[in-house]
Amino acid sequence: MQNSLSHWSLSLLIFVFAGCAVPQEQKVIQEKAKLPHISVDTFPILSEKKIELSKLYCEKYYGLDDIRLMNPDMVVIHFTAIPTLESTLNLFKKDELSSNRSYIGSYSKLNVSIHYVIDKNGDIYSLLPDTLIARHIIGYNHVSIGIENVALDESELTGSQLESNTKLVNFLKSKYPSINYLIGHDEYNIDSLEHTKFYKSLDSTYAPYDKPDPGQKFMQDLRQNLDSLYGLEFRK
């Protein structure tokens, strides 16, 4: 009697555990399926040299021994200050900074880089995997995913870009629930904002300076869109 009861209990246990294992697998598939659809073209900019320069950069300014971006905390929005997609992609293709970037060039030869570029018509391009650290903002590259918008200045940013930024930020938040902050590049050196707790630069002279991009209006519209369309409210 004792034995058959044990057998029965064991069978019940196996049944319960087997029952748990299947939904676990289904859950992963369901969560992937929940990602909102966005159309992204790839335009890879990675090279051996860029990886080498990135390693040096991450070690020197963030004290990191690899260039992986794990559990990002924020998304940073920019405009390129370059008028066309073609010239933007040409710039990001280079491994080393152009000689006119004298301030940041004095700290590292690593070219500026970005995860996503959005053209004026709203087309989205992926340049770097968002699991790698890019060089797009002093002090926050180790915690942020960057989005560039093709525009010479704030007045050139389009409604299509606003729409694509909204979709892309929503997509990134679904992909990385760790993202709780959204800032414009021009907000990165406002000391009163909460995101500044992530600031890191092991060389205190390599510090933020005033940037114009993307401007208050664009960020205000983007935040409003994210809230009204997806119920997303990010911290600054």
Residue 187 in the binding site for Zn ion (CB under 5 A): no
Stretch that binds Zn ion, among 5-13, 18-26, 71-79, 108-116 (CB under 5 A): 71-79
**CB-nearer residue toward Zn ion: 73 or 148:** 148
Residue 73 in the binding site for Zn ion (CB under 5 A): no
Please give the span between the terminal C-alpha atoms of the chain, in angstroms, as a whole number.
66
CB of 78 to Zn ion, least distance (A): 3
Residue 78 in the binding site for Zn ion (CB under 5 A): yes
**CB-nearer residue toward Zn ion: 78 or 173:** 78
* Cis, bond preceding 44 (omega within 30 deg of 0): no
- CA nearest to 139, candidates 55, 208, 210, 59: 208
Number of residues that bind Zn ion (CB under 5 A): 3
Stretch that binds Zn ion, among 70-78, 90-98, 125-133, 198-206 (CB under 5 A): 70-78
CB of 150 to Zn ion, least distance (A): 12
* Site mask for Zn ion (CB under 5 A), range 127-166, x = bound: ----------------------------------------
Residue recorded with tokens 């760790």:
178
* Site mask for Zn ion (CB under 5 A), range 194-223, x = bound: -------------------x----------
| Beta strands in the chain, from DSSP E residues, in sequence order | 40-42, 74-79, 116-118, 124-126, 144-149, 181-184
Q: Looking only at residues 4 through 63 of this chain, which bind Zn ion when binding is defined by CB under 5 A?
A: none
220 and 226 in contact (C-beta within 8 Å)? no
Q: Looking only at residues 166 through 185 of this chain, which bind Zn ion when binding is defined by CB under 5 A?
A: 185
Torsion of CA 52, 63, 128, 212, to 10 degrees: -120
Stretch that binds Zn ion, among 4-12, 78-86, 151-159, 173-181 (CB under 5 A): 78-86
Task: Report how far residue 177's alpha carbon sits from residue 232's, in angstroms, rounded to the nearest whole number.
Answer: 11
Task: Report how far residue 177's alpha carbon sits from residue 139's, in angstroms, rounded to the nearest whole number.
Answer: 22
Task: Report how far residue 83's alpha carbon sits from residue 67's, in angstroms, rounded to the nearest whole number.
Answer: 30
Q: Could you list the residues that contact Zn ion (CB under 5 A)?
A: 78, 185, 213
